[in-house]
Amino acid sequence: MSRTPLLAANWKMHKTVGEALEFLDALLPALPAEGPEVVLCPAYTALAPVVARCVETPVRVAAQNMHQAESGAFTGEVSAAMLLDLGVEDVILGHSERRALFAESDEALAEKLPTALEAGLEPILCVGEDEAQRDADQTAEVLTRQIEADLAAVEPEHLDRIVIAYEPIWAIGTGRTATPEQAQEAVALIRERVATRDAGAAERVRILYGGSVKPANAAELLAQPDVDGALVGGASLEAADFAAIVAAAAR
């Protein structure tokens, strides 16, 4: 089955509004006329300006997180309705930094995913093992637990509306990258776990690789049969580098 590649740029806590708009001035003319879907994930402060700049372009905009509640006493959080109000179409959920640094749990993600889907947002769910788990040969166990727990409240007919990003934590910001074979093995395992809920959805769901993706290794990683794109961190901060990664997916 043909799945349209998706390239997502996670800027994390980088780029002021001015820097984000400068990036777009460089990126937009460099994108191929046809090809993979492109999603930019700026900080909350730049969401509205980036959305406005991307109107009438194929580029979509995602938030880096959201709360599962409609509203309430949750200082520092943002709801799905608030994101929609800005024109945001996608949202990253469960990034390893959210899990590790802010104690985001699988239980919270099991609430966030249905909330995002009901609101009409496309979630990008991040899963992955850390270095100790990889070295202890626990990758399959960790991915199975996360997939089963995080997707527990999602109806089978909605599974293919979720994008899943496999991000080996040991390869994020370390310069250490999973080999294409390791990426393929993990992504195929994720697809198999989704298939236990719905085989058709498993064929349609897009699964990305994230972890030190850069122009030099993008083509090889994206050539793997089950890898449907990339969630890009550091290399997405430079327009030329991110454009090169998008071009690698367009080949």
In a domain, 93, yes or no: yes
For the chain, residues with pLDDT lower than 70 are 1
Residue 1 within a domain: no
Q: Which of 119, 206, 127 is nearest to 159 (CA)?
A: 206
Q: Which of 67, 95, 97, 104 is catalytic?
A: 95
Would you say residue 188 lies in a domain? yes
**pTM of the predicted protein model:** 0.96
* Angstrom distance (rounded) from CA 124 to CA 231: 9
Based on the residue annotation, tell me whether 122 is a catalytic residue of this protein: no
C-beta of residue 210 within 8 angstroms of C-beta of residue 166: yes
The reply to whether 25 falls in a domain is yes
Residues 170 and 134: beta-carbon distance below 8 Å: yes
In a domain, 191, yes or no: yes
What is the pLDDT at residue 63? 98
Q: Structural domain of residue 180, as residue ranges?
A: 6-29+37-250
Question: In three state form, how does the secondary structure of 195-218 look?
Answer: HCCCHHHHHHCCEEECCCCCHHHH
Residue 149 lies in a domain: yes
Quote the CA–CA distance of 159 and 162 in Å, as a whole number. Answer: 6
46, part of any domain = yes
Instruction: Tell me what pLDDT residue 1 has.
Output: 57
- Residue 11 one-letter amino acid: W
Backbone φ, ψ for residue 41 (5° rounding): -125, 80
Query: Could you give the number of structural domains in the chain?
Result: 1
Domain CATH for 208: 3.20.20.70
In this predicted structure, what is the pLDDT of residue 88? 98
95 is catalytic: yes
